[in-house]
Amino acid sequence: MVAAAATLPTDDPHPETDGHRWGMVIDSDKCTGCQACVVACQSENNLALNEENRVIERRAKTWIRIERYWEGEWPNAKARFLPVLCQHCGNAPCETVCPVWATYHNPDGLNVQVYNRCIGTRFCANACPYSVRYFNFWEPEWPSPMDRQLNPDVTVRTKGIVEKCTFCIHRINRTKREADRDGRPVADGEVEPACVQACPTTALVFGDLNDSDSKVSELSNSKRAYSLLDALGTTPAITYLKKVDPSHVDEHEEHGH
């Protein structure tokens, strides 16, 4: 038991990271709501198709979703888009409620879900303020020939367990191993989760927050930076950048900003 405890990194909610703290910056000014990230994620991570019924039952699974908000009244209405995925909180509400340590904080600062450990209490999904944890109510099924294109690097989750965005940890692990083999550090921008890779406007940027020269570090210090539900103190690894609205900018300038 004592030896096993050493392998459970959840004792400390903020374990010392051994070099990396993966994070993302989402520029809402660049997001056009095109859903390319959603599709990329769906196929990369073996998510079953969200048929109409699943959506009506409100049981569709999308590890990343584009939330759409309307601002103003027709005809001057503006659509606002907000991609929401697991925030990989530094202080994650989901981690403390899991009775079996199936979700924990790994040394890279990721919030990890160990599927085979999960017993499906759904406490984590209820505790998550961002609603980004999804319960598998059914065995996943793909119509032929889509069952032939599953990603072998990602487990197909069975009925009865909770799943969520992993920041494409299989890509992170692979890149780290490749860098290790070549005896060099992981370069900035070398790891790209599927959503980041698919984004046509580079609204999503991924990288190491512990590397002060990385693009994510630079962007997350922007004046436009904020985190979702900041007041909850979850310290997300995802930073959002506010929309640059010309009308608002003018207004600010008039007020001397």
Partner 1 sequence: MLDAFRALLPRLSPKQLIVISGLGAVLGGGAIAPVILLVVLGAMGGTITGPPEQPIAFDHSVHVGKAGIACEFCHRGIPVVGNTATAMSAPVSAAATIPSVEQCMFCHAVVATDSPEVQKIRAAWETGTPIDWVRVHRLPDHVDFVHDPHIRALAETHPSFTTAQICATCHGDVASMTEVEQVRALNMGDCQGCHRENSAPLDCAVCHK
Question: Contact positions toward partner 1, by CB under 8 A?
Answer: 3, 6-7, 9, 104, 106-107, 110, 112, 114-117, 153-156, 169-170, 173, 177-178, 180-181
Nearest residue (beta carbon) to ligand HEC: 116
Residue 232 binding partner per list ligand HEC, partner 1, none, with a CB distance cut-off of 5 to 8 Å that depends on partner kind = none
Whichever of 27 and 163 has its CB closer to partner 1, that residue is: 163
Q: Which of 34, 60, 97, 114 binds ligand HEC (CB under 6 A)?
A: 114
β partners of residue 22: 208
Exposed / middle / buried, residue 142 (Cβ in 10 Å: 0-12, 13-18, 19+): middle
CA dihedral in degrees (132, 137, 139, 140; nearest 10)? -40
User: In the window 125-184, what residues touch ligand HEC (CB under 6 A)?
Assistant: 173, 176-177, 180
Q: Give the Cα separation of 85 and 166 in Å (integer).
A: 9
Whichever of 22 and 81 has its CB closer to ligand HEC, that residue is: 22
φ, ψ dihedrals at 68, nearest 5°: -120, 130
Whichever of 7 and 149 has its CB closer to ligand HEC, that residue is: 7
Q: Give the Cα separation of 20 and 63 in Å (integer).
A: 23
Whichever of 61 and 199 has its CB closer to partner 1, that residue is: 61
Q: How far is the CB of 193 from partner 1 (least distance, A)?
A: 14
Q: How far is the CB of 29 from partner 1 (least distance, A)?
A: 33
β partners of residue 71: 78
Question: Given CA atoms 191, 192, 194, 195 in this order, what sign does their dihedral have?
Answer: positive
| DSSP label of 158 | P
Residues near 86 by Cβ (< 8 Å), separated by ≥ 6? Answer: 63, 111, 130, 132, 133, 164, 165, 166, 167
Q: Which of 1, 6, 7, 74 binds ligand HEC (CB under 6 A)?
A: 7
Is position 116 an interface residue for ligand HEC (rule: CB under 6 A)? yes
Whichever of 3 and 56 has its CB closer to partner 1, that residue is: 3
Q: Which of 14, 68, 78, 117 binds ligand HEC (CB under 6 A)?
A: 117
Whichever of 75 and 152 has its CB closer to ligand HEC, that residue is: 152
Q: Between the CA of residue 236 and those of 41, 120, 160, what are the distances in Å? A: 20, 24, 27
Residue 106 binding partner per list partner 1, ligand HEC, none, with a CB distance cut-off of 5 to 8 Å that depends on partner kind = partner 1
Residues near 70 by Cβ (< 8 Å), separated by ≥ 6? Answer: 77, 78, 79, 80
Q: How far is the CB of 235 from partner 1 (least distance, A)?
A: 20
Residues found near ligand HEC in the complex (CB under 6 A): 7-8, 114, 116-117, 173, 176-177, 180
